[in-house]
Structure 1
Amino acid sequence: MKNLFDLSGKVAVITGGSRGIGKGIATGLAHAGADLVLVQRTENHSLKSKLEEETGVRCESIQADLSKLEEVKQVIPQALDKMGKVDILINNAGIQRRSPAVDFLEQDWDAVMQVNLKAVWMLCQQAGKHMLANGQGKIINVASLNSFQGGINIPAYASAKGAVAQLTKALANEWSSKGINVNGIVPGYVATDMNEALIADPVRSRQILERIPAGRWGSADDFAGAAIYLASEASSYVHGHLLAVDGGWLGR
């Protein structure tokens, strides 16, 4: 059974892979045997060195600002140049902008849509071409509870994450018969930098915690198992699925 979850010899590209949920996923995949390409807006070699030392896998990094189209277009070609192949793509990077809808700025809307949706689409398309040629591959898009719920003061984020969920299903419909699994992970409320404003708000933080059946906010480490599952042979017949890692929030 252990072989079902073994990622030895696989190459995984992870956007936003050096912090938060991306760091938890990268750590899990490395311990499962995958070689990694960490896509970072600001290059930081500390995690790269740590994972190489701990696990013996090969870990490379690519510096790319996903808000810039030309840099997005270079991610998969650079990964192929460094590693020769891409078996797993994890679209994790994202940004947040908070404001009442009536005051939401156009530039904030465009920024969120570029990073959280358009970059995801472009990376899926680029990696998909390579995977289709090889007849195999795994794509994991990090969606959100806001793929199902509207949230408060986050109209762009909710719109983008709703679209990411539908994009995941659309690509699965086209590519599942060709050896490519396209699925999504749906994080609940996680104690990361993106949620600092919520954590610091005593009223909202209490309201959120009271609704989580698990009784705690999630941590980055909670996502390693889900990512290994969706990246491995264990999920070979799982297509177009959105796997909630939310402490039971959606079941409440």
Structure 2
Amino acid sequence: MSGRLSGKVALVTGSSRGIGRATAIALGNEDASVVVNYISSSGAAEEVVRQIGADRAISVRADVSKLDEIDELIKQTIDRFQKIDILVLNAGLLWQNGSLEATDEKMFDKLVGDITGPVFIVQKATPYLRDGGRVMLFCSSLTSVSMITPNYLLYAATRGVAEQMSRVLAKDIPKRNIIVNTISPGPTGTECQWCYIYIAIGNET
């Protein structure tokens, strides 16, 4: 019996490890074809491809904070699978030393990449998103909890941008029934992250 995502193509950024890895494998387990994006962990990315199956998965190295590498990521995806049905924007930096006092321009500029990536990946992927597609931005529960500590200033700021982006994009690209969601996990073990992706995809995909 085919999985419920048979025939669908998913692009998952930052999917060689952690939540992204679990998400990619979960999609593959439902028979989606998956593009496994990574920046440095080529061995880990290839292991994800192996688990899904080389007939339905490829790994693509790309730093999604850089526009030329985003272009190459989208190009390799379309060259192999001709379309995108599910776009999962998971890649990002967990910066835990970003208090106001500790913040400098170099650190700030580095974290800006966490905003650059989602904006331009969605922009460049949208022409290839099929009708009824899904876009999912990973945010964080730290944008809303009162117990957040000062060292998360920069991280919470970038995740807050992702949260607001999803609200605006949900109004900007719904013309072909493309649904945009935000996923905001807290500190969790990645072995069980499949539950997040299923909630976000919904039953119509």
Counterpart contact for 2:10–2:88, Cα < 8 Å: yes
Structure of larger gyration radius: 1
Q: TM-score, normalised by structure 1?
A: 0.73
Q: Distance in 2 between matches of 1:40 and 1:7?
A: 23
Q: Aligned equivalents of 1:58 and 1:82: distance in 2? A: 10
Per-residue displacement from partner, 1:72-99 (whole Å, max 9, x unpaired)? 2322122111211111110001113313
Cα shift readout 1:48-68 (whole Å, capped 9, x = no counterpart):
112218xxx611011112233
In the alignment, does 2:14 pair up with 1:13? no
2:133 aligned with 1:137, yes or no? yes
**C-alpha distance in 1 between matches for 2:70 and 2:31:** 26
1:51 pairs with 2:52: yes
Bigger shift: residues 88-97 or 173-182: 173-182
CA RMSD across the alignment = 2.1
Deviations 1:167-214 (A, max 9, x none): 00101112234210100110101xxxxxxxxxxxxxxxxxxxxxxxxx
The answer to whether residue 199 in structure 2 is matched with residue 223 in structure 1 is no
Shift of 1:111: 1.0
Distance 1:70 1:182 in 2: 24
TM-score by length of 2: 0.88
Q: 1:153 aligns with which of 151, 154, 158?
A: 151
Matched positions, count = 199
1:62 aligns with 2:60: yes
2:32 to 31, 34, 38: 34
The one-letter code matched in structure 1 to 2:134 is K
Which has more helix, going by share of residues? 1
Contiguous gaps of at least 5 residues in structure 2: none
Partner-residue secondary structure (3-state), 1:153: helix
* Counterpart contact for 2:36–2:60, Cα < 8 Å: yes
Specify the code of the residue in structure 2 equivalent to 1:75.
L
Q: Please show how residues 1-252 of structure 1 align to structure 2 within 5 Å.
A: 6-42=4-40, 43-44=42-43, 45-52=46-53, 58-97=56-95, 98-114=97-113, 116-131=114-129, 134-149=130-145, 151-189=149-187, 218-232=188-202, 234=203
Aligned partners of 1:106, 1:21: CA distance in 2, in Å? 29
C-alpha separation in 2, matches of 1:135 and 1:32:
20
1:123 is aligned with what amino acid? I
Unaligned 5+ runs, structure 1: 190-217, 237-252
- AA aligned to 2:101 is V
CA distance in 1, matches of 2:50, 2:131: 32
How far the C-alpha of 1:103 sits from its partner, in A, is 2.1
